[in-house]
Structure 1
Amino acid sequence: MSDRGLRLVWIYPDLLSTYGDQGNALVVERRARQRGLQVERQDVRSDQQLPTSGDIYLIGGGEDRPQRLAAERLRRDGGLNRAVDNGAIVFSVCAGYQILGHEFVNDLGEQSQGLGLLDVTSTRGEGERCVGDVLGDIDEHLGLPQLTGFENHQGVTHLGGHARPLARTRLGHGNGTGDGTEGAWHDTVFGTYMHGPVLARNPQIADLLIKLALDVNALPPVDDRWYEALRGERIAAATEPA
Structure 2
Amino acid sequence: MSDTGLRVVWVYPDLLSTYGDQGNALVVERRAQQRGLAVQRTDVRSDQQVPTSADIYLIGGGEDRPQRLAAERLLRDGGLSRAVDNGAIIFSVCAGYQILGREFVNDLGEPQRGLGLLDVVSTRGEAERCVGDVLADIDGELGLPELTGFENHQGITHVGPGARPLARVRLGKGNGTGDGTEGAWNDTVFGTYMHGPVLARNPQIADHLIKLALDVNALPSVNDQWYEALRKERISAALQPA
Fold agreement, TM-score > 0.5: yes
Secondary structure, counterpart of 1:149 in structure 2: strand
Quote how far apart the aligned CAs of 1:2 are.
1.2
* Matched AA of 1:167: A
Specify the alignment match of 2:22 in structure 1: 22
1:42 lines up with 2:53 in the alignment: no
1:184-233 alpha-carbon deviations (Å, 9 max, x no partner):
00010000000000000000000000000000000000110110000000
- The alignment-based identity, stated in percent, is 85
Matches within 5 A, 1:177-216: 177-216=177-216
Task: Say yes or no: does 1:237 pair with 2:240.
Answer: no
Q: Which residue of 2 aligns with 1:62?
A: 62
The 1-side partners of 2:184 and 2:2 are apart by 27
Considering only aligned residues, what root-mean-square deviation do their CA atoms show, in Å? 0.4
Q: TM-score with structure 1 length normalisation?
A: 1.00
User: Residues of 2 paired with 1:178 and 1:197: CA distance?
Assistant: 24
For structure 1, the residue ranges without an aligned partner over 5 or more in a row are none
* In 2, Cα distance between equivalents of 1:45 and 1:240: 40
Separation in structure 1 between the aligned mates of residue 64 and residue 222 of structure 2, nearest angstrom: 38
**Deviation of 1:241 (Å):** 2.0
Q: TM-score, normalised by structure 2?
A: 1.00
The match for 1:89 is 89
**Is the counterpart of residue 113 in structure 1 residue 109 in structure 2?**
no
Cα distance in structure 2, aligned partners of 1:30 and 1:199: 11
1:4 is displaced (CA, Å) by: 1.5
Length, aligned pairs only: 242
Counterpart of 2:141 in 1: which secondary structure?
A: helix
Q: Quick one: distance in 1 between partners of 2:41 and 2:221? A: 22
Residue equivalent to 1:132: 132
Q: For residues 49 and 31 of structure 2, what CA distance do their matches in structure 1 show?
A: 27
Cα deviations by residue, 1:40-74 (Å, 9 ceiling, x for unpaired): 00000000000001100000000000000000000
Q: Provide the secondary structure at the position in 2 that maps to 1:13.
A: coil
* One-letter code aligned to 2:174: G
**Partner of 1:163: helix, strand, or coil?**
coil
Distance 1:29 1:175 in 2: 28
